[in-house]
Amino acid sequence: MFEERYILVVVKNLKQFDPAIIILNASIGVFLTSLTQQCFCTTDSCGYSIAAVFSGAIGLLLGGAGITWLANPILLASWIWFKKKQHLSLIASFISTLISLSFLLFKDVMINEAGNYDQITSYKLGYWLWVLSSFIMFAGNVWLYFIKTKANKE
């Protein structure tokens, strides 16, 4: 008797399960976790993701690998649009994923405000978590799009 009631409560709660909330929270959580990690190393030292986020806007103005910072505001837009304008969120998350992956195409990065560049020697956990946060949004958007498309056909 107790087990049956417990199972009914669990099943009822599963019906209220909103995968969109899980996807959004996972993406934001992974992004915030990435900020606590090193993102890449050069021949001289390793950089922290939090510093890259805050100084990235300056790098954006100077070009090069700094343009990949644009993935951050685009990912933010994807989060904002996720519930209300899912088609825009899908596009933004795709672009954010591509831009964040494009960092792999650059061989060097500006390392200080004097404009000095150094060679990128490795990518650390913070970088991969940053990419993953965009990819979670993209994959989640695609998955939800196909669920809605299938539901509309039925």
Query: With contact defined as beta carbons under 8 Å apart, do 89 and 141 qualify?
Result: yes
Rg (CA), the chain: 19
User: Is 15 within the bounds of a domain?
Assistant: no
User: Is 35 within the bounds of a domain?
Assistant: yes
Residue 147's pLDDT band, with cuts at 50, 70 and 90, is confident
User: Is 90 within the bounds of a domain?
Assistant: yes
Query: With contact defined as beta carbons under 8 Å apart, do 82 and 20 qualify?
Result: yes
Report pLDDT digits (tens) over 90-136: 999 999 999 999 999 999 988 777 778 889 999 999 999 999 999 99
Query: With contact defined as beta carbons under 8 Å apart, do 108 and 41 qualify?
Result: no
User: Is 8 within the bounds of a domain?
Assistant: no
User: Is 16 within the bounds of a domain?
Assistant: no
The domain of 99 spans 22-149
What is the count of structural domains for the chain?
A: 1
User: Is 74 within the bounds of a domain?
Assistant: yes
Residue 3's pLDDT band, with cuts at 50, 70 and 90, is low
Distance (Å, whole) CA 69 – CA 73: 8
User: Is 40 within the bounds of a domain?
Assistant: yes
Q: Can you give the pTM of this predicted structure?
A: 0.83
User: Is 2 within the bounds of a domain?
Assistant: no
